[in-house]
Amino acid sequence: MCGINGILGCQAIVNRDEVILRMNQAMIHRGPDAGDTYHDEHISLGHRRLSIIGLDESGNQPMKSTDGKVVLVFNGEIYNYKELKSLTPDYPFFSHTDTEVIIALYQSFGFEKMLELIDGMFAIALWDTEKTKLFLARDRFGKKPLYYTILKNETGGSHVVFSSEIRGLLASKLFHPKLNHDVLGEYLQIQCVREPNTIVHGVFHIPASNFCELDLGKFNIISENQLPTRNYWSLKVNQEYAEMEYSDALIKGRDLFYQSIEKRMISDVPLGAFLSGGIDSSAIVTGKQIGRAHV
């Protein structure tokens, strides 16, 4: 896992370089291999890297497009990035990472189409310097977290602070955390707080399978406490699978299971598995040995 941080609309923030560095430091356990920041007049971005694919420095983030118009911080893994790379043959790739494939797809197809194409787990913050737009997105099932809070500045404008963890937001020291009493009962009852809410007042999730497009030209008119997000995917019943005979369904389920293991084993570092003794972890290790994937 990696850690991403950012502040949009940060002109009024004093020492914002130090703010992002503090947020990055709070994320060092998520990304011990490398860390860096990006700043322009509108936005500050930070990243802590855990190197899995493309281990050299060319894979470090924040990553810029070759023309410098797009800046990306990304946490997660795109399983089908090698196949998707072939969709942008004219893009001058300088790394062997899935991160750069996201940038290439965005510049070729736009953000929504890019989300339809990629298969993986991710939290994405993509800044288009030319359009002055920030795109935030979370994967279909919300495996990778992305938290944010909206703060008002003294001039009446707004800025958004976002991070992979609430502790990253707290490390910014841009606001004083308060307990969200509205969801305390929910937490005590089910041991969690359902998104988009969190246990901290004014801090929210980007919901799973949702994205947000923030146009800086319209950003200061945002008066709500939450960002306007849109759903880009929903689970649908596959009618072909639903009508299968039981024996055929067993075979198809096994094949899909092995395929899911295989595509998660793309790595430039050694792989391992934790065995709890349960049927889930045992089945995964068995799938590694029997399926097309190999450790």
Catalytic residue IDs:
2
Collapsing DSSP states into helix, strand and coil, what is residue 166? Answer: helix
CA distances from 49 to 58, 112, 251, 256, 269 (A): 12, 25, 39, 30, 14
Amino acid residing at 222: I
Six token digits for residue 151: 């703060």
C-alpha span between 266 and 52 (Å, rounded): 9
CA distances from 118 to 10, 82, 136, 295 (A): 30, 11, 15, 24
Closest CA to 105 of 65, 68, 154: 65
C-alpha span between 166 and 145 (Å, rounded): 10
Sheet holding 43-49, edge to edge: 34-39, 43-49, 3-8, 158-163, 147-152, 204-205
